[in-house]
Structure 1
Amino acid sequence: MITLTDAAATYIRALLTKKGDHAEFRLSLKKTGCSGYSYAPNVIAQLNDNDICVETDKGLKIYLDSRYTDYLKGLVIDYRDENTMGLKQKRLVFINPNEESRCGCGESFNIEK
């Protein structure tokens, strides 16, 4: 269901190790921006009642908000360490085949329901 690049898997494992034994990686969507949704990744210590566990191709468990699982099918998560015009950015990048459109700034996206 969800694919991680090697860079994303390494980054997420490091985050979880840094946070401790009970840390879990959770991915949800939040309604925001001009196009509707944005990705909301978090490292959490306690799961929400509506979370489901998905094991990725790299053996990492990701907890998803069950309300959005259909929107996240086929998602690829990458990690990029970029230097654009002197601005260094380290971030997760989400490549989702279900996205219909993105806003101009790239912060939010729309999914046809």
Structure 2
Amino acid sequence: MITLTEAAAAYIKTLLKKKGDNAEFRLSLKKTGCSGFSYAPDIVTSIKAQDKCVKTDKGFNVYLDTQYVDYLQGLTIDYREEANMGLKQKRLIFINPNEDGRCGCGESFHIEK
């Protein structure tokens, strides 16, 4: 269902450790931008009862907002450190086979379902 690269898993584990023992990784989508959606990853200390738990082989679970589970099928999460205008950016990269297009700046995407 969801694939995490080793780099993404290591980065998420670092965030979970900083947040504390009860920390969980939750992924949702938010309606925004010119194309409709953007990814909304979060480190939370309480999950929503309706969230879907996806077990990983990386030492932590991923909790998905149930209303977007179909949109996230086949998703790969990667992590990259990139230099942008002299500044180092650390960010998760989402590779989703369900995306039908992205806006020009790449911050939002759309899925026709």
Match of 1:33, as an amino acid?
G
CA distance in 2 between partners of 1:84 and 1:46 (Å): 34
Structure 2 residue runs of 5 or longer lacking an equivalent are none
Count of aligned pairs between the two proteins: 113
2:42 alignment partner in structure 1? 42
Q: Measure, in 1, the Cα distance between the counterparts of 2:34 and 2:47.
A: 29
Partner Cα distance (2:85, 2:43) in 1? 30
Query: What is the match of residue 83 of structure 2?
Result: 83
| Structure 1 stretches lacking a partner, 5+ long | none
In structure 1, the partner of 2:94 is 94
SS in 2 for 1:39: strand
How far apart, CA to CA, are the structure 1 residues paired with 2:91 and 2:60?
18
Q: Do residues 7 (structure 1) and 20 (structure 2) align?
A: no
State the Cα distance separating 1:86 from its structure 2 match.
Answer: 1.4
Which moves more between the two structures, 83-92 or 13-22?
83-92
CA–CA distance in 1 between the matches of 2:25 and 2:56? 12
Q: Percent identity?
A: 71
So what's the TM-score if we normalise by structure 1?
0.95
Deviation at 1:59, TM superposition (A): 4.1
Q: Counterpart of 1:104?
A: 104
Structure 2 residue 45 is the aligned partner of structure 1 residue 22: no
Aligned-CA RMSD value: 1.0
The whole-number CA distance in structure 2 between the counterparts of 1:72 and 1:64 is 9
Hey, what's the Cα distance between the residues in 1 that align with 2:19 and 2:84? 29
CA offset at residue 58 of structure 1?
2.7
Alpha carbons of structure 1 residues 98 and 82: separation in structure 2 relative to 1, 3 Å: same
TM-score norm. by structure 2 comes to 0.95
Contact 1:4-1:57 at 8 Å conserved across structures: no
Deviations, residues 19-70 of structure 1 (Å, cap 9, x unaligned)? 1110000000000000000000000011112211001243430000011011
Q: Secondary structure at the match of 2:97?
A: coil
Runs of 4+ in 1 over 6 A off after TM superposition: none
Q: How far, CA to CA, are the matches of 2:105 and 2:35 in structure 1?
A: 10
